[in-house]
Amino acid sequence: MPRTEEPDTRAAVVELAGVSVRYGSAKAPVTALDGVDVRIHAGEFVVLVGPSGCGKTSLLRVVAGFERPATGRARVRGSLPRPGAGAGVVFQQPRLFPWRTVGGNLAFALARLGVPRSDRPGRIAELLERVGLPGMAGRRTWELSGGQQQRVALARALAAEPELLLMDEPFAALDALTRERLQGEVRALAGRLGTTVLFVTHSAEEAVLLGSRVLVMAAGPGRVVAELPVDLARGPGTDVSALRSSPEFARLRGRLAEIMRRGAVPGP
Amino acid sequence: MTAPTTTTAASGPDRPPQPVPEPAGTGAVADSPRRDRLREAFRWGGLRLVALAVLLAAWQAVVSAEVWPRVLVPSPGDVWRQFVLASTVHDGVRGYGGHLLIEHLGVSLGRIGTGSAYAVLAGVPLGLLIGTVRPLAVVLEPAVTFLRTLPPLAYLSLLVIWFGIDEAPKIWLLVIAALPPIAAATAAAVRTVPGQLVEAARALGSGPTALLLSVRLPCALPEILTGVRIAVGVAYTSVVAAETINGVPGIGGMIRDAQRYNQTALVIAGILAIGLSGIVLDALLRLVERIAVPWRGRV
Ligand SMILES: Nc1ncnc2c1ncn2[C@@H]1O[C@H](COP(=O)(O)OP(=O)(O)OP(=O)(O)O)[C@@H](O)[C@H]1O
Ligand SMILES: [Mg+2]
């Protein structure tokens, strides 16, 4: 029975219902998230924006399986979130293994996937090419700049070709040109592989450029206050710099910035 | 003859044009710190030599003043003569007690090596267990601390009763002495592996075994190697105790016998041989550390 698809009848890849996250002791609890409802469907590119400390990382950590919600329900593909269960994570810091070379860090991910040893060098070269670090496989991680390290971390997360990709401000440390290049890369990749992405950023511009849907969060306690569907052209062919100069992009970015400004004011 | 010639040539009229073909002065930037370091090394090395000379002169002065009887405080020359005697075949006698000094030292080093190797083989897994399994830590950690505080001579008697007077008690003593520092260093290092790296590995699909072997162990390796270096040092200080009974050949046995016959100069020569070889070995282990764990301090 072919029917028009409604969002709620589709199986959600990520489902958060009434999720709260608390840190600290019972005496002095910090409520990082309070009653958050989020549903993310397969192939969506959802961007979280909001001021520093509003709980973006906390939300991502719940989905990654590193944080258990104090209340509410968190599900990834119908099961309890568990680290390493198919979600690729790019953390806010590169978190590379210093005892391994750049290539060794990628090999670590490939080994966990069971990629045969002989296939790894080729895959590593290809991944490094993709993040703009060709020929860097033999380098020591600490010889790299912060932005280069973050790109290796991105390559390491991409190595598994995960169906769900969680990214926490991955491009914050990059120069404008490299950032644009990688934004295009991630956008194209997600479109090509149909990857579901949950992406955190501070930048309204980046949110509109990448997202198919933007969730605006506010602090005190952390919650989702607004949602903005983005309908900029998607797909592998779309050029990020062309998108950026389109009037549609400017309009959406303006609207999002407006929403973010209003969201920053606590309460109506 | 060739070396001075090149030096003169380098500082002669050929010298000034040399920097010109170098591109943009990068050579000078890369070169000068190395030369500074060399100069630094020479300066401190020189200071050490001066200190050594002062020490030897003071020693000789004390002996010449005859403050103490010669049999208690032999002169540097006496020690040197004993050193030479113990290191050569003379009047058909091979060194001291039928073995050259270097052979005594070699046997002791062999025991230190064997004892330390067993200590690493047992201590690293033990430390990994203590560092990762809470109930084991509760039980084993005090035991390791207990062993660590015991002076080796205290358990030597027990080891002799159990294992006799041949190699076994000596190796056991060195293993018992060297194991605690390795286990303790490994346990501490495994515990302090940054949670951020553990999370990154878990996100990539690492299970408990992969986490232990591919993350915690390599991350702890710098501290483990430091523990090994400390353990070899402990084995060094214990080997003389291990060789107090039936210790010949062995540098400790040699010192022990020399003491019995009031050969003070030979005792001192033996002590110097242990100490100097210890410095060399420590330097070697530091080198191994630098090469094996270049990421030290970067985690
Ligand atoms: N481990 C923790 N222990 C205690 N409090 C924490 C912890 N992690 C986060 N918090 C608190 O929870 C709140 C949300 O933090 P979170 O890191 O999720 O914010 P964020 O939106 O990612 O901020 P940023 O944009 O600066 O990265 C903050 O008030 C923070 O202080
Ligand atoms: Mg954050």
The CATH homologous superfamily for domain B93-292 is: MetI-like (1.10.3720.10)
Final residue before a domain boundary, out of A105, A139, A161: A161
Mean pLDDT of the region B200-207: 95
Q: Which amino acid is at A1?
A: M
Final residue before a domain boundary, out of A161, A190, A217: A161
Chain B residues whose CB is inside 8 A of the A102 CB are none
Closest residue by CA, ligand 1 atom 18: A55
In this complex, the residue of A95, A99, A112 whose CB is nearest that of residue B205 is A112
A23 lines ligand 1 (CB under 6 A): yes
In this complex, the residue of B199, B205, B295 whose CB is nearest that of residue A98 is B295
Final residue before a domain boundary, out of A161, A180, A206: A161
Domain segments of chain B as ranges: 36-67, 93-292
Mean pLDDT of the region B188-211: 94
A125/A217 same-domain check: no
A183/A242 same-domain check: yes
A265/A173 same-domain check: yes
Q: Can you read off the two tokens belonging to residue B255? A: 């010192």
Q: How far apart are CA A179 and CA A177, in angstroms?
A: 5
**A101 pairs with which residues across the strands?**
A140
A28/A114 same-domain check: no
A247/A184 same-domain check: yes
Q: Domain tally for chain A? A: 2
Q: How far apart are CA B9 and CA A170, in angstroms?
A: 57
Chain-centroid distance, C-alpha B195: 33
**A197 pairs with which residues across the strands?**
A45, A165
Residue from A57, A92, A198, A201 to probe ligand 1 pocket by mutation (most atoms less than 8 Å from CB): A57
Chain B residues whose CB is inside 8 A of the A160 CB are 204-205
Residue B4 in this model has a pLDDT that exceeds 70? no
Q: Which of A16, A52, A8 is nearest to A34 (CA)?
A: A16
Provide φ and ψ at B230, rounded to 5°. Answer: -65, -40
A42/A120 same-domain check: no
Tell me which of B216 and B30 has the higher pLDDT.
Answer: B216
CATH number for position A176: 3.40.50.300
A119/A249 same-domain check: no
A220 lines ligand 1 (CB under 6 A): no
Residue of A nearest to B298 (CA): A98
Q: How far apart are CA B278 and CA A125, in angstroms?
A: 46
A196/A82 same-domain check: yes
pTM for this model (two decimals): 0.82
Q: What percent of chain B has pLDDT over 70?
A: 89
Residue A169 in this model has a pLDDT that exceeds 80? yes
Cβ atoms within 10 Å, residue B198: 17
Radius of gyration of chain A (CA): 19
**A214 pairs with which residues across the strands?**
A47, A228
DSSP state for residue A140 in the 8-state scheme: B
Residue A268 in this model has a pLDDT that exceeds 90? no
Q: Can you read off the two tokens belonging to residue A62? A: 């719940």
In this complex, the residue of A99, A112, A160 whose CB is nearest that of residue B295 is A99
The tens digit of pLDDT for each residue in A176-217 reads 888 998 898 898 888 888 899 999 998 999 999 999 999 999
Confidence (pLDDT) at A237 = 60
Q: Considering the domain boundaries, does residue A1 fall inside one?
A: no
Q: Does B251 touch chain A (CB under 8 A)?
A: no
Provide φ and ψ at B163, rounded to 5°. Answer: -115, 5
Three-state DSSP at A229 gives strand
* A150 CA: distance to closest CA in chain B (Å): 13
Mean pLDDT of the region B60-89: 92
Expressed in angstroms and rounded, the spacing between residue B175 Cα and the centre of ligand 1 is: 48
Residue B255 in this model has a pLDDT that exceeds 60? yes
Residue B7 in this model has a pLDDT that exceeds 70? no
Contact at 8 Å (CB) between A85 and A240?
no
Interface of B with A in 148-167 (CB under 8 A): none
Residue A1 in this model has a pLDDT that exceeds 60? no
A54 lines ligand 1 (CB under 6 A): yes
Tokens 């029975």 belong to A1
Contact at 8 Å (CB) between B298 and A142?
yes
Q: Considering the domain boundaries, does residue A173 fall inside one?
A: yes
A101 lines ligand 1 (CB under 6 A): no
Residue of A nearest to B210 (CA): A112
Q: Can you read off the two tokens belonging to residue A169? A: 């401000």
A174/A254 same-domain check: yes
Closest residue by CA, ligand 1 atom 6: A23
Confidence (pLDDT) at B23 = 47
Q: How far apart are CA B122 and CA B236, in angstroms?
A: 19
Q: Considering the domain boundaries, does residue A69 fall inside one?
A: yes
Name which of B204, B219, B224, B290 to mutate to probe chain A: the one with the most chain A Cβ atoms within 10 A of its Cβ: B204
Expressed in angstroms and rounded, the spacing between residue A224 Cα and the centre of ligand 2 is: 15
A52 lines ligand 1 (CB under 6 A): yes
Residue A266 in this model has a pLDDT that exceeds 60? no
Confidence (pLDDT) at B163 = 95
Domain ranges, residue A128: 95-161
Q: Which of A94-98, A130-134, B5-9 has the lowest mean pLDDT?
A: B5-9
Expressed in angstroms and rounded, the spacing between residue A168 Cα and the centre of ligand 1 is: 12
Question: Is B203–A88 a contact, with Cβ atoms under 8 angstroms apart?
Answer: yes
Mean pLDDT of the region B165-194: 95
Expressed in angstroms and rounded, the spacing between residue A202 Cα and the centre of ligand 2 is: 9
Name which of A76, A91, A99, A156 to mutate to probe chain B: the one with the most chain B Cβ atoms within 10 A of its Cβ: A99
Expressed in angstroms and rounded, the spacing between residue B95 Cα and the centre of ligand 1 is: 72
pLDDT band, residue B20 (cuts 50/70/90): very low
Confidence (pLDDT) at B57 = 95
A57/A168 same-domain check: yes
Residue B91 in this model has a pLDDT that exceeds 90? no
Residue B116 in this model has a pLDDT that exceeds 80? yes
Mean pLDDT of the region A93-110: 96
A58 lines ligand 1 (CB under 6 A): yes
A122/A189 same-domain check: no
Q: Considering the domain boundaries, does residue A5 fall inside one?
A: no
Peptide bond into A221 cis (omega under 30): yes
Residue A267 in this model has a pLDDT that exceeds 90? no
In this complex, the residue of B207, B210, B298 whose CB is nearest that of residue A98 is B298
A82/A186 same-domain check: yes
Confidence (pLDDT) at B18 = 44
